[in-house]
A = this chain, B = another copy of it.
Amino acid sequence: MSESPDPAPRPDDGAAPVDPVYRDAVVDLLGVISYGEITAFERLADDSKLAPTMQDKVALATMAATELGKVGRLHQRISELGGDPFAAMAPFRVAIDSFHQHTAPSDWLEGLVKAFVGDGLANDFYREIAAFLDPGTRDLVLASLDDDGGHAAFVVERVREGIATDPRHGGRLALWGRRLMGEALTQAQRVAADRDSLTALLTGGVDRPGLDLAALGRMFTRLTERHAERMSELGLDS
């Protein structure tokens, strides 16, 4: 397509986006995903200390390492787009750090539920956004969400075992799941209010399709429904 003189963004040709507003939004998106993965690494590495067995510890540590392993490609893409990976992450530190400060697990099971529910929610949200990206960025974002190691299955099994051993865990962990969802929404709201570029990815632009308010509402309904499905997979009420 290099013969085309058209300078407008072409979200379908897989090339790097040329519209600077769109490019900034993509850099923002890759920045927030990267920082999310770095902090996920830190939390999982920390939570692995709570593991009751060496096997469980290695399983959680492996999840941590997997998260961090995705950061390199995201940072590389930010650089290709002319951004600085660390500058791109900076605007999201307060929101993501606050999320983690307000949701520090007090034991092994809370850590597992957080890994499963928090990761799932973030992945669902990035998948929704991915529909509005050029194919190259979309593939990169979707690849960064892959659960390569069957980690989710490990978490589901361990949480269900924990509840079977002591059913009182069920009520406490159900509350914990609601708190995770509430904190995630609070911080997402904060990011949306601060970063017009990211919201513009969803709501569209002059040359780009987007969601109207009704469609945004349906998206949040989908996210909430999937959260409820995940909770029920863990054997918890949502």
Question: Chain A: residues with CB nearer than 8 A to chain B?
Answer: 38, 41-42, 45-46, 48-49, 54-55, 57-58, 61-62, 64-65, 68-69, 71-72, 86, 89-90
Are B42's CB and A49's CB within 8 A? yes
Are B38's CB and A61's CB within 8 A? yes
B-side contacts of A86, CB under 8 Å: 54-55
B-side contacts of A42, CB under 8 Å: 45, 48-49, 61
Given contacts A42-B61, A65-B69, 12 further A-B contacts (CB under 8 A): A38-B54, A38-B61, A41-B65, A42-B45, A54-B86, A54-B89, A55-B86, A61-B68, A62-B68, A64-B65, A65-B65, A65-B68
B-side contacts of A90, CB under 8 Å: 54
23 contacts between A and B (CB under 8 A): A38-B54, A38-B57, A38-B61, A41-B45, A41-B61, A42-B45, A42-B48, A42-B61, A45-B45, A45-B46, A45-B64, A54-B86, A54-B89, A55-B86, A58-B71, A61-B68, A62-B68, A62-B72, A64-B65, A64-B68, A65-B65, A65-B69, A69-B69
The CA of A42 and the CA of B48, in the complex, are separated in Å by: 9
Q: Which residue of B lies closest to A45 (CB)?
A: B45
The CA of A187 and the CA of B57, in the complex, are separated in Å by: 23
Q: Which residue of B lies closest to A71 (CB)?
A: B58
Q: A64-B65, A68-B65 given as contacts; is B45 within 8 A of A58 (CB)?
A: no
The CA of A46 and the CA of B65, in the complex, are separated in Å by: 13
Q: Which residue of B lies closest to A89 (CB)?
A: B54
